[in-house]
Each structure stands twice: as C-alpha cells, then as structure tokens.
Amino acid sequence: MRNKQVILRDCVSGFPKETDMSIVESTLTLKLPEGSNEVLLKNLYFSCDPYMLFLMTNVEPGSVSYALPLSKPLIGFGVAKVLESEHKDYKKGDLIWGLTKLEEYSLVPSTQIQFKIEHTDVPLSYYTGILGMPGMTAYAGFFELGSPKKGENVFVSAASGAVGQLVGQFAKLTGCYVVGSAGSKDKVDLLKNKLGFDEAFNYKEEPDLNATLKRYFPEGIDIYFDNVGGKTLDAVLLNMRVHGRIPVCGMISQYNLAQPEGVTNLTNLMSKRVRMQGFVWSDFYHLYPKFLEFLLPHIREGKVVYVEDIAEGLENGPAAFVGLFSGRNVGKQVLVVARE
C-alpha cells in the first residue's frame, strides 16, 4: 500500500524550517506479524505540538531525550482508525488516540495507543486537543499542580493555544480572575470575546511586562500557568503572591535559542514561598476517565469551547508545525490527514 509521509530531512537547529522536513511516498505491507501486538492505523487527525521539536534536534550528550532518526516520519499524537489489529483490545474499525506518525498509515505497537475513543458525538479532532493530550495537560496542570481556589488570580501565557485556552476556561469555572497573554490582536480578541478571559493583552506591545502585570494584577498572581518561560516568567516572578503556584507546562520562547535567556528573579520563589513545578500529562494518566466525566458535559452544554486551527492534508504538515514557533496558528493546530 502506498503511504505518504512527512519525514525529518535534517536535524533542526534554531527555528524549525519547512525544509527540515520533506514529503515522501513509501510502501507499507498490510499484513501484521501474528502475535506481534501491533496495530495498523489509518491516521485521521494529527496534533501539531511544540514538544515535537525535542525529537527533531540533535541530542546533547547526557540528555535523557532521544532523537528521531533522519528520513523517518515525525512522531506525535493523533486520532486514527484501526485497520488491522494483533491486540485483543482493538479491532478493525475502532477509533483511538495515541502516539502515531505523520503519514497516511502507521504500524504501531499497541502500547502507543492511549485510549479507545468512546464518545463520538463531539468532533473527532477534539481528541488531538481538548479531549487529548493538550486537554489533559491543562486539566492536570491547572487543577492538580495549580491547586486553584475560588477568587484567586490566574495568569496564563500563550493563552489562546491548545492548552492555554482551556486553562483560562477552567479558571473561570473555578471562580478565578484570569488574564491571558498572546501574540496578536486577533488572539487577544478571541481570549476576551470568545474564551471568557477577564482580561488579555498582546505581549508584543508591552515594553515593560513587569508594569503590565502590575496593572492587571495589582494584588499579585496566585497561579501562573507557564507555557513560554523566559522574559515572561521573569516578570511574573516579581508579581507572585505569597504561596503562589507556577505549573510549568512549556517554555516555547526558549526552544529555538542557542543560549536560553537567563531568569534573574528566582529569589522571589523564596521570599514568596512559591511552588514551581514541571509536569507532563502522562504522570496523570489515571485521571483521564475523571477528566472526560468533568469535561464532556461542559462541551455538550457549550460551557467550554475550543478553538482549532485546522490545516488540510499531509502536504501542509511542515508549514503547520513550523507555524507554531512564530505563533501563526490561532488556537489548537490540527492537521487533517483524512476525514474518515
């Protein structure tokens, strides 16, 4: 079977470029090795996420990370349909989400499947976003690490992104005051008019982030949900309240830098007794059923909305991925590989 793929052509250094990837066609055998526990997937929706970059750069000596081999398809989360299965839990026609590859068809070990999709009255693409890894990331980071209380002050960076837009809505559901930062007027409008943030600002138009935060948070910040790191984090540290929490979800501002920016205000962790904690959603894997139970009714009732930026077709995969790092996407970046 012919299989179109987006492969890694060159290791990325600095900002990823479309030319770091290329589109090729390979072939795939439909027959699975018996007893292999493997599953053949038809990929439907692919999730373009910043962390994918970690697999595409040269691995530093001593790093725990691992690199994608050159000429192999990109790896990431996606929604797929099972075509063939050698694992008893999955059968032909099942819909799943999990780690797959950026190609039309993927042969994957069944262990890479995260969950079978049981609820299809919501858009299937949601399982790459609000109901997938980014959704769980927002949920675990905000509720488990952020320990929010009604009336607290919440700040979210990259607030219109796949994770940020949910953190803001979860904060409003909890009765918090929430302010988001983003990188364009359109995104700021989205935050205020569609996503229910109390306030939002375009960080590119704020020459003094410390002053900006003092304006929006005269009493300080209880929870900063960090998606960007760097200068924003540094300004936030000056504005945290005593016993504040900083779930560290991402530091996208630092990923392309040869030398990361220095964060200079960490003594505030001490004086304000702040808890700053990195996490990944999979540490909270066991909460997925509880998460669905919480979120599905809110989605069905329209109380939580989700903005997707949908690119069509594998050919547009490299551009969709690269766009994440210039903030071109508005909302969760999804790539449609096939509609069904």
Segment interacting with a copy of itself, rule: CB under 8 A, options 14-22, 70-78, 254-262, 331-339:
254-262
Segment interacting with a copy of itself, rule: CB under 8 A, options 14-22, 103-111, 258-266, 287-295:
258-266
Nearest distance from residue 288's CB to a copy of itself, in Å?
Answer: 18
User: Which of 188, 173, 191, 179 has the alpha carbon at shortest distance from 153?
Assistant: 179
Is 27 one of the binding residues for a copy of itself (CB under 8 A)?
no
* Footprint of a copy of itself on 200-219 (CB under 8 A): 214
Is 65 one of the binding residues for a copy of itself (CB under 8 A)?
yes
Which of 62, 69 has the CB closer to a copy of itself?
62
Is 67 one of the binding residues for a copy of itself (CB under 8 A)?
no
Is 254 one of the binding residues for a copy of itself (CB under 8 A)?
yes
CA 248 to CA 227: how far, in whole Å?
7
Which of 229, 323 has the CB closer to a copy of itself?
229
**# residues near a copy of itself by CB under 8 A:** 38
Contact 110, 37 (CB under 8 A): yes
Task: Evaluate the CA torsion angle 136, 229, 205, 211 in order and state its sign.
Answer: positive
Q: Work out which of 28, 67, 173, 238 binds a copy of itself, going by CB under 8 A.
A: 238
Q: Is 332 helix (H, G, I), strand (E, B) or coil?
A: strand
Residue appearing with tokens 């299965």: 85
Is 147 one of the binding residues for a copy of itself (CB under 8 A)?
no
The token pair that represents 337 in the structure block: 């590989």
Contact 130, 281 (CB under 8 A): no
The token pair that represents 50 in the structure block: 């910043």
Q: Work out which of 278, 290, 300, 326 binds a copy of itself, going by CB under 8 A.
A: 278
Rounded to 10°, the helix 230-237/209-216 angle is 50
297's enclosing H/E stretch is helix 288-300
Which of 123, 229 has the CB closer to a copy of itself?
229
CA 285 to CA 174: how far, in whole Å?
22
The token pair that represents 111 in the structure block: 């262990």
Mention every residue, 6+ apart, whose C-beta is less than 8 A from residue 71: 7, 8, 9
Q: Work out which of 9, 87, 272, 298 binds a copy of itself, going by CB under 8 A.
A: 272
Segment interacting with a copy of itself, rule: CB under 8 A, options 114-122, 201-209, 266-274, 306-314:
266-274
Q: Work out which of 19, 58, 277, 326 binds a copy of itself, going by CB under 8 A.
A: 277
Cβ count near 334 (within 10 Å): 25
Is 264 one of the binding residues for a copy of itself (CB under 8 A)?
yes
Is 109 one of the binding residues for a copy of itself (CB under 8 A)?
no
CA 77 to CA 7: how far, in whole Å?
15
Which of 95, 269 has the CB closer to a copy of itself?
269
Contacts with a copy of itself, residue ranges (CB under 8 A)? 54, 62, 64-65, 214, 229, 233, 238, 242, 248-251, 254-255, 259-280, 283
